[in-house]
Chains A and B, each alone.
Chain A
Amino acid sequence: MSERVAVDLKVNGTTHRVSVPAMRTLMAVLRDDLGLTGTKNACDQGVCGSCTVLIDGAPARACLALAVALPGIAITTVEGLAQGDTLSPVQQAFLDAGAIQCGFCMPGMIIQATALLAENKRPSEDDIRHSISGNLCRCSGYTKVIEAISLAASRLTP
């Protein structure tokens, strides 16, 4: 149990005033209070990367952040990447490369890849592997994920 605290969370460009228990993680608030269930809980220890979101533009584990400590800070979840019905270039590349299998790790993977490409326009395969090494996937051998990120990079920076 913990006391409820009101906090203004700025998620995907919209500010939401929520009153949540102080100990509730950002992941739980996104999923249970804001209904943004794209952010997945697969280990709650920060190891698997399924809950990766952008906090102030940098990838972070939503399961290891307390929502009340993030008032007014820009948070981007996987739901915030597409523009209306148009997928983001990274999302589209994941589709085109056939990188999506069960899909459970994908929101975190796509967020991580988005952050990588924001910083490194032409990542090498090695850069990509290092970048997503904290995003576990059990369906793939990561091959198509890496292809997808390369594809997105080449489309973003022809």
Chain B
Amino acid sequence: MNAPGAPIGLSLPRLEAGEKAIGTALYTGDMVLPGMLHGAIVQSPHAHARILGYDTSKALAVPGVRAVITGDDIEFRYMGLVVKDETAIAKGKVRYIGEPVAAVAAIDAETARRAAQLIEIRYQPLPAVTTIEEALHDGAPMLHEDFAKYAKIYDAPVGRGNLLAHSIATQGDPAKGFAMADVVVEETYTIAAQYHAYMEPCAALAAFDPSGKVTVWSSTQSIFRTQANLHECLGLPMTKIRCIAPRVGGGFGGKSEATVEPIAVLLAKKGRAPVRLVLSRNQDMTAMRTRHPGWIRLKTGATKDGRLVARDCELWFDGGAYADDSPAVMNFALYFVRGPYEIPNVHCEGYAVYTNRMRAGAFRGFGNPQMTFATESQMDALAAKLRLDPIELRIKNALPNGARWFGGQAVTESTLVEALETARTRAGWDKPMPPAPPGKRRGRGVAAMAHSSAFLSTGAIVRLQNDGTIAVQVGAVDIGQGSDTALSQMAASAFQLPVEQINLATPDTDSAPYNSGTNASRVTFMVGKAVGEAAFKARDQIIEHAAAMLGVKRDEVSLAPGGRVVVTGGSRHNAEVSFADVAARSIWAVGGPVIGSSAVMASHAMDQGHTKMSGWLSFEAVGIYTFGAQIVEVEIDEVTGAVEVTRAVCVHDVGRAINPCATVGQIEGGFAQGMGYGLCEEMVFEDGRLANPSFMDYKIPSALEVPKTIECVLIEKPEASHPFGARGIGEPPLVGAAAAIANAVADAIGKPLTRLPLTPERVLRALLAQ
């Protein structure tokens, strides 16, 4: 598919890198419209309370205030991906500390902020449940009394209090499997809430036009999910909602669903002017989303020669006050209950629970990092018990090509063994590490991982423009990962054009075909596939026009670099027409404009005959599986317990790296974020109140904490089902990082830690307990 010299596999600078470097790139919070007002929110001080009433008079009396909205301004209309349980702003009750409960629009940000503080809300505090255990007590207060009535897309538990989802899956005969086992290990792993910490806090700008249609620019991962959520919670028809994503400063899953768009729209409507609402970091940290905290009990049986024969798992996720993606995240975690291994007998149960805390939602890895921490820690525990090398044990049990994934989906290509072997060689695994300096301990650890790339549906429209350049419309948002550039490279390749001749349109629900979102490591894979298919259709039309113009048969012409179609052979050898000539013919004379379009859907079916599942979301498809292995070296300070990651080797199957520099950027960044998850990031809640709601108190790794070397090795085996051979790489680098670090720490101190993050305090205690 890829002609020589075409831009696949080139590390082109990002198309928008220049504007980002000089500071002219426009993110939502940078945009200004004539007459624009500034929004500010009021947040709930209660973990759980009934709202008795509002007094907005003082706020409205402030000069410059144009609108105040509260729950009284909306109907009980609900939005949500899997459970429709959220209103645009709190109505009737508040369910977590920090929940937006009212908002103000004023002529400037200071006025809005001050006025927001003057809104008086009368609450009747209700008993709150801020942990899974409290939420499940008999007689525990219900967060959602109407849970049974909510629209849902899965078989939800009903009449079980705050239990939001309960999924069960069984493969083979677990009892028999454990009976066959020579060794059994069992452990409970505890995981903390991690904050996405995208550098751009959530923001939206909403403006109504005279026809009553609202345009919403926002910092989102999905313009179509934003549109759907606005439609659901505000009751506006989609004909009246247009969503656009300008530059987005990171998302990592946290901007997959609605953030502040519904509030901005309500303010714009009531204030009769455009409204820009940008959260402060503190507001973002207390009102938005986290990775799911919880615990995983995992039990594995193996034969004495190291074959995994049985696994049992019980997983509990704290979903917070609204369902958001929780049932899906919990299900997705369970898909990885076996890790990337063949285990014939498995039973697992997963639970997601409502609690009076901020929502947990999608976050890079979508449940898999939690599960992989448990499964990969347990692999090391097993290896120790069996006296096997951890990599040997993993290779021995690696899922082979053609085997079935948990859930029954066929895995066409497993590169796990290659990834492990490559990592082993690269890291010098078989050689002992140099001795630690005095006062330090050294350790090395490995984690293997698999992740799916793909999921859900997307489309693309590819058009030939009058001057012979190509316009590409997709609904995919580049949130910083570089998809605009990668998709342009793919389109350019299909037409043998330089990327400068591709116009990748801004994501806009008014013009783009549907795309579910920038998540699930899916844009390069799924949207790339859609772009490829649409481009090839347009290309065929160009060739057909050209052949007719040149008076030869279709198979006598071919594309040439630079937007030309050339006759190859025969009497008209080397005669050519340009794309612009073709465009002119199509527009003015014959056939109509050249347009190729595509619609694609992830298409790998589950099989109940392989894995019996109940209470699951009916995901018919979870894409293709991608494998990787990471080895890290750590140095532990015996005085404080502080862990330094001194080296990381990250080997990942990327299919074909469309833009290797961007691919490596994803791997380095994913590892660093996973390192934060493993070592220092923990949202600490005290009775539902976040104790560290700022970057002062919640720390993400800086340039001094990340390893000096993050060695990235790309395994490039072009994926057959993708027109350009790509696989997704957004999430895999994070998935195994915490597990690899935990295994390295265990190696250093001779004792595994089962709770994330591995703070100095926890590590020192483990050291001293020996």
Contact = CB atoms under 8 A, between A and B. Distances in A.
Complex contact flag A–B (Cβ < 8 Å): yes
Interface of A: 1-2, 21, 23-24, 28, 31-32, 35-45, 47-48, 50, 77-79, 81-82, 87, 91-92, 94-96, 98, 100-107, 110, 125, 128-130, 132-146
Given A102-B200, A106-B20, A106-B21, A44 B252 contact: no
Contacts of A28: 109
Nearest to A145: B703
Enumerate the 9 nearest inter-chain pairs by beta-carbon distance, A residue then B residue, closest first: A38-B23, A102-B480, A104-B249, A103-B20, A141-B668, A78-B23, A37-B30, A98-B661, A104-B199
B153 interface: no
Contact of B25 (A24, A103, A134, A139): A103
B266 to A, nearest CB: 23
A130 B705 CA distance: 10
Contact of B111 (A1, A98, A110, A143): A1
B479 A100 contact: no
A1 B62 CA distance: 10
Interface stretch (B136-144, B229-237, B694-702): B694-702
B702 A24 contact: no
Contacts of B198: 102, 104, 138
Given A98-B13, A98-B661, A103-B25, A43 B672 contact: no
Nearest to B733: A141
B280 A102 contact: no
26 contacts: A21-B110, A32-B109, A39-B23, A42-B201, A42-B695, A47-B695, A78-B21, A91-B22, A98-B664, A101-B482, A102-B250, A102-B480, A102-B481, A103-B480, A104-B200, A107-B23, A129-B703, A133-B702, A136-B199, A136-B695, A139-B669, A141-B669, A142-B668, A143-B706, A143-B710, A144-B665
Contacts of B482: 101
A140 B281 contact: no
A45 B480 CA distance: 24
Interface in B650-674: 661-662, 664-665, 668-669, 671-673
A145 B20 CA distance: 14
Contacts of A129: 703-704
A102 B672 contact: no
B21 A95 contact: yes
A100 B702 contact: no
Interface in B1-25: 11, 13-14, 16-18, 20-25
Given A44-B281, A101-B669, A95 B17 contact: yes
Contacts of B703: 128-129, 132-133, 135, 142, 145-146
B199 A144 contact: no
Nearest to A21: B110
Contacts of A87: 18, 21-22
Contacts of A39: 23
A74 B196 CA distance: 36
B111 A101 contact: no
Contacts of B252: 138
B249 A1 contact: no
Contacts of A50: 199
Interface of B: 11, 13-14, 16-18, 20-27, 29-30, 32, 108-111, 114, 196-201, 247-250, 252, 278, 280-281, 479-482, 661-662, 664-665, 668-669, 671-673, 694-696, 700, 702-704, 706-708, 710
A2 B113 CA distance: 13
Contacts of A105: 199
A36 B23 contact: yes
Nearest to A106: B20
A43 to B, nearest CB: 4
Given A98-B661, A106-B20, A141-B669, A43 B110 contact: no
A140 B662 contact: no
A41 B662 contact: no
A45 B281 contact: yes
B682 to A, nearest CB: 16
B654 to A, nearest CB: 16
A42 B696 CA distance: 12
Given A47-B694, A78-B22, A98 B700 contact: no
A83 B16 CA distance: 19
Given A133-B704, A139-B665, 18 more contacts: A1-B111, A21-B110, A47-B695, A78-B22, A87-B21, A94-B21, A100-B17, A101-B482, A101-B665, A102-B480, A104-B198, A110-B21, A134-B702, A135-B703, A138-B197, A140-B665, A141-B668, A142-B706
Given A104-B250, A141-B706, A1 B110 contact: yes
A136 B699 CA distance: 10
A36 to B, nearest CB: 7
A123 to B, nearest CB: 12
B199 A38 contact: no
A94 B23 CA distance: 13
Given A24-B110, A45-B694, A101-B480, A140 B20 contact: no
Residue of B197, B250, B278, B708 with most partner-chain A CB within 10 A: B250
B185 to A, nearest CB: 33
A81 to B, nearest CB: 7
Contact of B695 (A45, A103, A104): A45
Nearest to A49: B702
A158 to B, nearest CB: 22
Given A102-B249, A129-B703, A40 B672 contact: no
Contact of B672 (A21, A77, A82, A142): A142
Contacts of B662: 98
A107 B700 CA distance: 19
A29 to B, nearest CB: 12
Residue of B248, B249, B706 with most partner-chain A CB within 10 A: B249
A102 B23 CA distance: 12
Given A103-B249, A139-B250, A31 B30 contact: yes
Contact of A42 (B16, B199, B480): B199
Residue of A35, A44, A141, A146 with most partner-chain B CB within 10 A: A141
B662 to A, nearest CB: 7
Contacts of B30: 31, 37
A92 B30 CA distance: 23
Contacts of B671: 141
